[in-house]
Structure 1
Amino acid sequence: MPRKYDKVPVPEEGEKIKYDGKELLVPDEPIIPQIEGDGTGKDVSPVAKKVLKAAAEKTGRDIHWMDIHAGETANEIYGKHLPQDTLDAIREFRLALKGPLTTPVGGGYRSLNVAIRQILDLYACVRPVYYLEGVPSPMKNPEEMDMVVFRENTEDVYAGIEWARGTEEVEKVRNFLNEEMGTEIPEDAGIGIKPISESATKRLIRKAINYALENKDRFQYVTLTHKGNIMKYTEGSFRDWGYEVAEEEYGEDVITENTLWEEREGEIPEDTVVVNDRLADNMLQQLITRTTNYDILAMPNLNGDYLSDAAGGQIGGLGVAPGSNIGDGRGVFEPTHGSAPKYAGQDKVNPTAEILSGRIMLEYMGWDDTQQLVKDAVEKTIKDKTVTYDIYRSIDGGEKVKCSEFGELVIENMDSF
């Protein structure tokens, strides 16, 4: 039986998703927590919930949503922005759909989004980037983009280890580095540290390679993306540890790019994944110039932030860019865009990214027919040019619809498949 929560009702129907240490055990009617979010989260989250529930019902299942809280709503209810109830509910029920959150100014967490990821050890930020026909894009051939970014979620600059200029703490660090380690850091500098560990790196790389092997019909390459030419003992080690995982743990299922050309003359053996690496600055260029050469990108946190947003720009922007944060048998699924508070409550913003974040959740649950129905129905709605204002202003013709109306059209279009 589910535990009782202080200020959160648990649905009377539905069952918990369980985890056996290797895979999720998903019932046909799971209870799934949902954080509405701040700002436009109050617009897009209800729409996404309706769309995902409708898709589940049309494929012989159901979703029982459990409303939990973070951000401004949580502060009103609990007097804190990230209550224990919310974290406990995600731990118990394994998965959650989340709207965008605004981190409060002043004390508390640097970022509520980062706090949730780190507290729950959701170490892989997984962002599929693919084109939906009909979305305006700055690229001539946006359909060439079909990648998945695996971004490490717990280390690098997002560990948030830094000291402000002029503080007693920064002086201690600066003096140690200058006097004991031979650096020359000026007196007016702030100092930050970016840890990148073997253990955190390897578990991210495993998740990326496993995903590639599970989707061999679509993906052949896993590309380690780094700045190891400059940061040799952090990002360079990220690359080296990635190759160690590929060479030591996967046998003939995975080969490196060197092996591919030195021993295979560039011919990829059937059912094999190739691991290679690229410098992050070069990769930003190759996203555009050699889009079809890349499938899955695995990288430290900051690189992943830049690369995933750049890739999202090629398919039309963050309004259609979904995201997820996944650990071992647990995940929180959220759009990559922010809360855009100036549009809150106007029923005008695009709910596509929130809906497609839910689609990633359905895929993670193993509901392949349900997630495909969501994707197909969203794409048909956009192709029909019945779109929200952000897309409408960049296309010829069509009909501008409200956020809620877009969701209803997506549900109607499910009957076409």
Structure 2
Amino acid sequence: MSYEHIEAPDGGAKITLADEETGELDVPENPIIPILYGDGTGEDVGPVAQDVLSAAAEATGRDIEWMRVYAGETAREKYDENLPDETVQAIRDHRVAIKGPLTTPVGAGFRSLNVALRQTLDLYANVRPTYHLEGVPSPVSKPEEMDMVTFRENTEDVYSGIEFEEGTDEVARVREFIEDEMGYDSIHEGPVGIGIKPITEFGTKRLVREAIDYALENDRDSVTLVHKGNIMKFTEGQFRDWGYEVAEEEYGDEVITEDTLWEERDGEAPEDTVVVNDRIADNMLQQLLTRTDEYDVLAMPNLNGDYLSDAAGAQIGGLGIAPGGNFGHGRMLAEPVHGSAPKYAGQDKVNPSALILSGVLMFEYMGWDDAAELVRDAVEETIAAKEVTYDFHRQIEGGEKLGTSEFGQRVVDRIQN
């Protein structure tokens, strides 16, 4: 391995692809894992998460060789660009990586550095497990009822970046085509910005397969397709239809649709069978609150996934505790849900739990379930003991307020003990 500004570790071994067809990985006991601390508070939470995950690996008889990579502010300092090719290549080479939050500078040429990484590496499924940890303050009365996993399509929808700016020749040509060639007259007079919303069969079906496979492998009862197909009939409505096609044509008796369930079985699902249903997106936001425990796995287009996963995260204590990961074929990039919060950067005060728990998701993908469980339990025990960072401390009576690094050390201590 040779990079310009990335220092490769002396030891360790690459994670490789064991099966090209399935994407199954071959993970050594001493893998090299790229880590991108990120911008703003990423410089606070990144090293802490690294220490916690290293402790869990060591406690389970393994070792991680970390390889620091760069994007955003740190990349501008080293490369004079926001997303260097060798950062992307290093993550591609090593297949599993973890990153903190990134800030996209205004006028930098990227709509989002996070989106650019996902699309460049074809990390098509953004997966966010949302569960409540004991002791975490929540705005709802029964946060423990939330145990849900969202699968958000990562590469298309309005995030595909096909937009035309007001006042440009391009937007005028698109408008002329829509109005004169296609006969639509619903655009108001005057300046306009236009975006294109592609939803493909290919993108939809591979995401829904991931969601169903996850439900089957993890004993989940249902997969819910979340869409706005009552209005956007040929994009989100098609997402719904293609999702049902996957369920009905590819899984046999392992999966049953909600319509079939009621038509043929009076609502009684066969044992070990996943029920696939669908909900309108705005109704689903309500269902998150009113029928929380009735949902297991949600699969949805990109924009719906952004809204729904954040709303779910609020119910279990906020984005400071919400982990996530981006998955492709034999490739994974773990990342927290929250942003970079630059006003708190360098103050050693923010909550590192979301990045640490994103590492749990990474460990599970690597097959290190024992290390993953160790980290999750240690984080939960630390919070339950009221040893928390400022965001939770102000909501917990009798708690001990810790800095970012202090909280991380308490988690490490519990892992080692």
TM-score band by shorter chain is: over 0.9
For 1:293-312, what aligned pairs fall within 5 Å after superposition? Answer: 293-312=294-313
Q: Choose the corresponding residue for 2:6, options 5, 8, 33.
A: 8
Q: Secondary structure at the match of 1:240?
A: helix
Cα-to-partner distance string for 1:366-417 (whole Å, 9 max, x where unaligned): 111110110000000000000000000011111001100000100111246x
Instruction: Determine the C-alpha separation between the residues in 2 that align with 1:234 and 1:41.
Output: 36
Instruction: Determine the C-alpha separation between the residues in 2 that align with 1:46 and 1:415.
Output: 18
1:107 to partner: Cα distance: 3.1
Instruction: Determine the C-alpha separation between the residues in 2 that align with 1:358 and 1:203.
Output: 24
Partner of 2:124: 123
1:92 to partner: Cα distance: 0.6
For 1:10-409, what aligned pairs fall within 5 Å after superposition? Answer: 10-19=8-17, 20-21=19-20, 22=22, 23-184=24-185, 185-186=187-188, 187-216=190-219, 219-409=220-410
Amino acid at match of 2:192: A
Amino acid at match of 1:314: Q
Instruction: Determine the C-alpha separation between the residues in 1 that align with 2:202 and 2:306.
Output: 21
Q: Secondary structure at the match of 2:128?
A: strand
1:166 to partner: Cα distance: 2.3
Instruction: Determine the C-alpha separation between the residues in 2 that align with 1:83 and 1:165.
Output: 30
Q: Alpha carbon RMSD of aligned pairs, Å?
A: 0.9
1:117 to partner: Cα distance: 0.3
Instruction: Determine the C-alpha separation between the residues in 2 that align with 1:188 and 1:405.
Output: 53
Query: Any conservation in 1 of the 2:55–2:416 contact (CA below 8 Å)?
Result: no
TM-score when scaled to structure 2?
Answer: 0.97
Cα-to-partner distance string for 1:200-239 (whole Å, 9 max, x where unaligned): 00000000011111101xx110000000000000000000
**Identical pairs, percent:** 68
Query: Any conservation in 1 of the 2:229–2:238 contact (CA below 8 Å)?
Result: yes
Amino acid at match of 1:176: F
Instruction: Determine the C-alpha separation between the residues in 1 that align with 2:225 and 2:98.
Output: 28
Instruction: Determine the C-alpha separation between the residues in 2 that align with 1:298 and 1:107.
Output: 31
Q: Secondary structure at the match of 1:138?
A: coil
Instruction: Determine the C-alpha separation between the residues in 2 that align with 1:363 and 1:135.
Output: 23
Cα-to-partner distance string for 1:149-170 (whole Å, 9 max, x where unaligned): 0000000110121112222211
TM-score when scaled to structure 1?
Answer: 0.97
Q: Secondary structure at the match of 1:335?
A: coil
Instruction: Determine the C-alpha separation between the residues in 1 that align with 2:406 and 2:267.
Output: 50
1:7 to partner: Cα distance: 1.4
Amino acid at match of 2:197: K
Instruction: Determine the C-alpha separation between the residues in 2 that align with 1:415 and 1:9.
Output: 29
Instruction: Determine the C-alpha separation between the residues in 2 that align with 1:231 and 1:58.
Output: 51
Amino acid at match of 2:352: P
Question: Mind listing any 5+ residue stretches in structure 2 that lack a counterpart?
Answer: none
Instruction: Determine the C-alpha separation between the residues in 1 that align with 2:38 and 2:416.
Output: 30
Cα-to-partner distance string for 1:306-360 (whole Å, 9 max, x where unaligned): 0000000000100000111110011111111111111111110000001001110
Q: Secondary structure at the match of 1:277?
A: strand
Question: Mind listing any 5+ residue stretches in structure 1 that lack a counterpart?
Answer: none
Query: Any conservation in 1 of the 2:34–2:98 contact (CA below 8 Å)?
Result: yes
Cα-to-partner distance string for 1:157-212 (whole Å, 9 max, x where unaligned): 10121112222211111111111212111232211110000000000000001111
Q: Secondary structure at the match of 1:4?
A: coil
Query: Any conservation in 1 of the 2:124–2:207 contact (CA below 8 Å)?
Result: yes
Amino acid at match of 1:4: S
1:4 to partner: Cα distance: 1.1
